[in-house]
Structure 1
Amino acid sequence: MANSKFEYVKDFEQPDILLPNTWIVVRIDGRGFHKLSDHYAFVKPNDRRALDLMNAAAVEVMKELPDLCIAYGISDEFSFVFHPTCQLFERRNGKLVTTIVSTFTAHYIYLWSIYFPNKPLQPPYLPSFDGRAVIYPSTRILRDYMSWRQVDCHINNLYNTTFWTMVQQGGMSNTDAEQELKGTVSADKNEILFKRFGINYNNEEEIYKKGSVLYRQYKLQEPKSAQASMEDDTSAPEEKQSRSQQDKLKKLRRKAQVVVDHIDIIRDDFWERRPWILSNKPGTLPVEN
């Protein structure tokens, strides 16, 4: 770009590079989704079409950005995780967040008609998302973050399932159902569902109870020691990869299928059997039948 007397305005730009050797989580959330879900008559407490649409858009983000190693989604939110070695956009906060948000939103809108063929999008009820980046200094804390989101999924889904069952099947008003559930614990909600409505919460679909986990699929490994998978990875800086090494790894990751799973990510087993997620080193591709 040619120099000009106006170029001094670039001096007002502030650096926003995220700390090196840390996990980066870009979490996006739907904006005004209560109004949007009401307008397009989403099924309560869970609309499988809406969740599948969220997952489909997230899969496309994972495909377009091979630097991502895992993503987790519930309701109208998704968390996308970059490994500490990631150098995408030189780890610039704004570039990472806006790329994730805009790519996700574009695919969400593009895929909408597949999941809601009889409900075309109309202004002002158009889906949009905001996002933020948070850095975590160790694998242990990153896993605690992921566990927190999955626990939140269970807590919110149990409440919503009980609430809407009381309203839809029990004929209660929203206010009365909310008042009765105030101060209850999980056991109380399970009892309400089972004794009043014959619903065993354990039989609910896993996607509703556990959320959606997206990752690249390689051959599963035999579990190793739990301590190894929880080892703090900040004792020494990561060796910086050359551009050619980064490009090679990206090509290997692009060959792997991005899968959507509804599985426990709190226990060690998930991570031990999929070591490539935390190591960021592509595994062995499954043999096609």
Structure 2
Amino acid sequence: MANSKYEYVRFFEQPDSLLPNTWIVVRIDGRGFTKLCAQYGFEKPNDKRAIDLMNAAAKAVMADLPDIVLAYGVSDEYSFVFHKTCQLFERRASKLVSTVVSTFTAFYLHLWPTFFTGGLVDDVRLVVPLLPTFDGRAVCYPSVQNLRDYLSWRQVDCHINNLYNTTFWALVQKGGMDSVEATELLKGTFSADKNEILFSRFQINYNNEPEMYKKGSVVFRDYELVNPAGSNAAQTAEAADNVAEPPTVSKSKAESDKKRRAKARITVEHIDIIKDEFWDRRPWLLTGQPGTLPKQL
């Protein structure tokens, strides 16, 4: 860069590197999605097209950024997890957040026609000024337990919100109530109360609702599952947390791992990520090392 009398302005830029040796979670959220859902006629309580679109955009982000080891999404939000050894963009918060948000938004807009136009229903085309946009933030979690508790929090929140929304919209759409009446009826109710309302009034067994809506979406690279008897998530977590500083990875090893990740299929599942079994069978999520690719049939 050529020197000039204006170069001093560089010193106004402040360093924003995230804490070293911590898990980084970049969470994005839809901006103004209540209005957007109304504008484009999203189905209530859940619109499968919208969720499939979110998942497709998340898969595309993971394919574009191999440093992401896991993503979890529900409604109009997605959390992208970077391993604690990640050095992408020198761990600068602004670069990580802006890259994830812009990449996700770009794919969301690009893939919109795949899910909302050209189908059996009327086309739903995006119009100005109400276009989908997202914001984002980066949070560091020092331990595997902290990371798992964060993801558990989001999945529990998914269940709580979906049960409420399923009951609310059943009261409105099938029970003839307006939104004020439905809100008042549900005020102070517990999960058991909502399940009872769904079953006794509308013959809806909440347990039979699609797992996608109850558990959210988990996106990860698909390697061969490990026998739980030969793995233990708690021991893996403890070993990872006891490392005082990130291990040094050679350039050749980093390139090799990147290529192995690129060969892995990125999958979307709707499963429990709170229990140990999910982590026991997929130890690569915590170690950060690529697993064994499934044998080709």
Same fold (TM over 0.5): yes
Structure 2 partner of 1:198: 203
Q: 1:65 is matched by which residue type in structure 2?
A: L
Instruction: Please say if residues 229 and 268 of structure 1, whose CA atoms lie closer than 8 Å, have aligned partners that are also in contact.
Output: no
Provide the residue aligned with 1:157 in structure 2.
Answer: 162
1:222 lines up with 2:227 in the alignment: yes
Match of 1:250 in 2: 258
Q: Which amino acid aligns with 1:55?
A: N
Q: Which runs of 5+ in 1 are unaligned?
A: none
Asked if the contact 1:21/1:234 (under 8 Å) is kept, the reply is no
AA aligned opposite 2:232: S
Deviation at 1:234, TM superposition (A): 3.1
TM-aligned CA deviation for residue 238 of structure 1: 1.8
SS at match of 1:29: strand
Distance 1:139 1:279 in 2: 10
CA RMSD of aligned residues (A): 0.9
Contact kept? 2:240, 2:287, Cα under 8 Å:
no
Deviations 1:239-263 (A, max 9, x none): 1223332222111101100000000
Identity percentage of aligned residues: 64
The aligned counterpart of 1:114 is 114
Is contact 1:138–1:232 with CA below 8 Å preserved after alignment?
no
Residues 83, 278 of structure 1: 8 Å contact kept: yes
Aligned partners of 2:105 and 2:134 also within 8 Å: yes
**What do residues 221-277 of structure 1 show as CA deviations (whole Å, max 9, x unaligned)?**
011235314426333212122333222211110110000000000000000000001
Deviations 1:6-57 (A, max 9, x none): 1110001000000110000000000000000000000000000000000000
* Residues 125-181 of structure 1, C-alpha deviations (whole Å, 9 max, x = no match): 100000000000000000000000000000000000000000000000100000000
Output the amino acid matched with 1:286.
P
Structure 2: 5+ residue stretches without partners: 118-122
Query: Could you tell me whether the CA contact under 8 Å between 1:229 and 1:271 is conserved in 2?
Result: no
SS at match of 1:122: coil
8 A Cα contact 2:233 2:279, kept in partner: no
1:77 aligns with 2:84: no
8 Å contact from structure 1 (residues 23, 81) kept in 2:
yes
Superposition map of 1:121-200 within 5 A: 121-200=126-205
Question: What is the number of equivalent residue pairs in this alignment?
Answer: 289
Measured at CA, do residues 165 and 146 of structure 1 come closer, stay the same or move farther in structure 2, by a change above 3 Å?
A: same
What's 1:259 paired with?
A: 267
Moved more, 4-13 or 220-229: 220-229
Matches of 1:226 and 1:102 in 2, distance apart? Answer: 33
For the 8 Å contact 1:45–1:161, the answer to whether it is kept is: yes
Q: Which residue in the other structure is 1:68 paired with?
A: 68
How far does residue 5 in structure 1 lie from its aligned partner after superposition? 1.3
8 Å contact 1:212–1:260 — kept in the other structure? yes
1:110-134 per-position Cα deviation (integer Å, ceiling 9, x unaligned)? 0001111001100111000000000
Instruction: State whether residues 72 and 146 of structure 1, in contact with CA within 8 Å, keep that contact through their aligned partners in structure 2.
Output: yes
Q: Which residue of 2 aligns with 1:56?
A: 56
CA contact (8 A) 2:233 2:283 kept: no
Is 1:269–2:269 an aligned residue pair?
A: no
Q: Distance in 1 between matches of 2:111 and 2:262?
A: 21
Question: CA distance change for structure 1 residues 169 and 232 in 2, over 3 Å: closer, same or farther?
Answer: farther
Report the TM-score when normalising by structure 1: 0.98
Cα distance between partner residues in 1 of 2:221 and 2:20: 24
SS at match of 1:177: helix
Are 1:240 and 2:248 an aligned pair?
A: yes
Are residue 286 (structure 1) and residue 294 (structure 2) matched? yes
2:116 and 2:97 map into 1 onto residues whose CA distance is 27
